[in-house]
């Protein structure tokens, strides 16, 4: 199975209250994207395009903006921005994004438009800068790369796993004060059942489960990193 499909054609869609998620089928890396309804319209988080995705997005309402929340990838943000006539929103401190998108870019700090989400910087490993997005009113938390529910992230009974290279020093500061009711990831399926417990377990057990994660997922995560850099 490919780590990341060059031309994804099939997606698994999960609908939830106030939004929807779609994940590439048949990938080891299980890339996921999300459409969330805010006060100003629908916001797309790190979106990937494929036949049928437009219908998922259009069913939620008018698109207010496209958000790139990791400096490792822009995915198809520019295609969605052009389609809906909106800019690509990028945190003011995030590098490497503008060279990856062919669309107008707007910089911001703190609040992402009127989506209800606030973003905070997380640097789980050197070179990786991501924006963790949290909406307090419904407890929705989005993490692009530092955490994931895809099997390449998890080990044993974990429902959420910390990125392997960040397990020794997990990015706890990025989640201070967060009361998660719904977890969304850049890799893997959403989690709504005891989301707070899954998040707490991932962070508290990351370090002592590192040897097991290295043994079971080490080579797969190396492949994922090389694929992302490529």
Coil vs helix vs strand at 18: coil
Q: What is the mean pLDDT of residues 12-38?
A: 95
Contact between residue 4 and residue 75 where contact means Cβ atoms under 8 Å apart:
no
Coil vs helix vs strand at 173: helix
Distance separating alpha carbons of residues 72 and 160, to the nearest angstrom: 20
Of the listed ranges 16-20, 74-78, 224-228, the least confidently predicted one is: 224-228
pTM for the predicted model, two decimal places: 0.95
Distance separating alpha carbons of residues 214 and 152, to the nearest angstrom: 11
Q: What is the mean pLDDT of residues 169-188?
A: 97
| Spatial CB neighbours of 223, under 8 Å, sequence gap ≥ 6 | 3, 28
Q: What is the mean pLDDT of residues 139-164?
A: 97
Residue 97 has pLDDT above 80, yes or no: yes
Residue 228: pLDDT band (50, 70, 90) is low
Closest CA to 164 of 227, 217, 201, 126: 217
Tens digit of each residue's pLDDT (9 = 90 or more) over 32-55: 999 999 999 999 999 999 999 999
């Amino acid at each position: 199975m490919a780590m990341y499909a060059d031309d994804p054609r099939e997606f698994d869609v999960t609908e939830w209250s106030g939004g929807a998620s779609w994940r590439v089928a048949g990938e080891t890396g299980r890339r996921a994207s999300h459409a969330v309804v805010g006060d100003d319209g629908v916001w797309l988080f790190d979106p990937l395009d494929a036949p049928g995705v437009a219908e998922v997005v259009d069913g939620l309402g008018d698109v207010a903006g496209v958000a790139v929340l990791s400096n490792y990838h822009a995915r198809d943000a520019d295609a969605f921005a052009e389609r809906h006539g909106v800019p690509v929103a990028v945190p003011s401190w995030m590098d490497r994004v503008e060279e990856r998108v062919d669309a107008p870019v707007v910089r911001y700090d703190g609040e992402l438009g009127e989506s209800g989400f606030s973003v905070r910087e997380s640097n789980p490993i050197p070179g990786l800068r991501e924006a963790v997005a949290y909406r307090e009113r419904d407890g929705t938390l989005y993490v692009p790369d530092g955490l994931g529910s895809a099997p390449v992230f998890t080990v044993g009974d974990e429902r959420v796993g910390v990125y392997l290279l960040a397990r020794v020093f997990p990015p706890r500061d990025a989640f201070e004060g967060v009361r998660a009711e719904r977890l969304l990831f850049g890799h893997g399926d959403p989690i709504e059942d005891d989301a707070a417990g899954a998040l707490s377990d991932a962070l508290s057990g990351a370090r002592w489960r590192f040897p097991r994660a290295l043994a079971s997922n080490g080579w797969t995560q190396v492949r994922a990193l090389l694929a992302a850099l490529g």
